[in-house]
Structure 1
Amino acid sequence: MSAAELIEKARAKGLWLTTAESCTGGMVAAAITDVAGSSTVFDRGFVTYSNTAKTEMLGVSAATLDAHGAVSEEVAAEMASGALAAAKATIAVSLTGIAGPGGSEFKPEGRVCFGLATADTVHTRTVDFGALGRDNVRKAARDEALAWMLHAVDSL
């Protein structure tokens, strides 16, 4: 899977993509915009590293953050939905996680929660990549997000 393939398929279907990233700090958007011609399917992405940014830019509820924490499928869902609406996109992917170092018994290092929103649905999932080191967790999360977006493009 490559970002170029994602862009090619999204362009062929007339789809618009957007991203809402926390732990990856814009790596998914960078992978997309590294490809020449990506502006035909990608208008903007959101890097919302803090909880304040998540609420202000994406409309993530403070109550959701308080109840579940930033690293949760509930927050990932609201991030994806907020990005989809703000960017007027067809598909939005979101990522929030603990790249490391650190973590806790309940939210270990390497855990990333993903959201994927379209006009009709919002799906979430959590992947525990393990304590691979900060750089490797972030790269793995980027690749997972791109693959999930490609699957969504193929499904539309």
Structure 2
Amino acid sequence: MEPAERVDAENLPAAVVQLLIRRDLTVATAESLTAGLLAATLADVPGASGTLQGGVVAYQNHVKERLLGVDPALLARAGAVDAEVARQMAEGARRVTGADVGISTTGVAGPEAHQGKPVGTVYVGLAGMPGHAEPEAVLLHLKGDREAIRRDTVRRGLQMMQARLTGWT
């Protein structure tokens, strides 16, 4: 797949799984906002067992702290919807599963704002991506109801992974 090549949303999960397998990389998820939807989307792809190590649904902060190692002082200061929290969640997913790559989701799906953050505020974190020494997080401002925001978060996270993997040689 060439770096500029993109696939439609329906084929995106399969494209990401194939890129990971081709690059001999494993992946794990750490999900708050999406509550396992990202891992399930990857697992729906035939052959996903060749890359998907597992996932942690960390809906509550104490789970983010205990299972993923997110800094409790950071959570107390910034709340769960934060770029650094997303980065630490992604890194925690790698650590607890032994995966090469971690991807995380945290945000506000609604119906109301949370901790002063409006509905649709989402961070996707990536850790362990080839060519990216440090974990990263991207802020998204999404529209729609809970279901649309959660689905769009998964799509955008997979697009991020695809972009990083196709840009890596």
Bin for the TM-score computed over the shorter chain: over 0.9
**Displacement of 1:104:** 5.4
Residue 56 of structure 1 corresponds to 66
Given the alignment, which residue of 29, 35, 39 partners 1:25?
Answer: 35
State the distance in 1 between where 2:44 and 2:118 align.
Answer: 31
**Displacement of 1:105:** 8.8
Given the alignment, which residue of 85, 93, 114 partners 1:83?
Answer: 93
Q: Retained in 2: the 8 A contact 1:19–1:29? A: yes
State the distance in 1 between where 2:114 and 2:32 align.
Answer: 18
Residue 141 of structure 1 corresponds to 153
State the distance in 1 between where 2:109 and 2:152 align.
Answer: 10
State the distance in 1 between where 2:164 and 2:30 align.
Answer: 16
Given the alignment, which residue of 47, 51, 64 partners 2:57?
Answer: 47
Residue 122 of structure 1 corresponds to 135
**Displacement of 1:58:** 0.3
Residue 4 of structure 2 corresponds to none
The unaligned stretches of length 5 or more in structure 1 are none
TM-score, L = length of structure 2? 0.87
Aligned AA for 2:64? K
Aligned with 1:89: secondary structure?
coil
Q: Retained in 2: the 8 A contact 1:91–1:149? A: no
Aligned with 1:71: secondary structure?
coil
State the distance in 2 between where 1:35 and 1:91 align.
Answer: 18
Aligned AA for 2:160? W
Identity %: 34
TM-score, L = length of structure 1? 0.94
State the distance in 2 between where 1:41 and 1:124 align.
Answer: 22
CA RMSD of aligned residues (A): 1.4
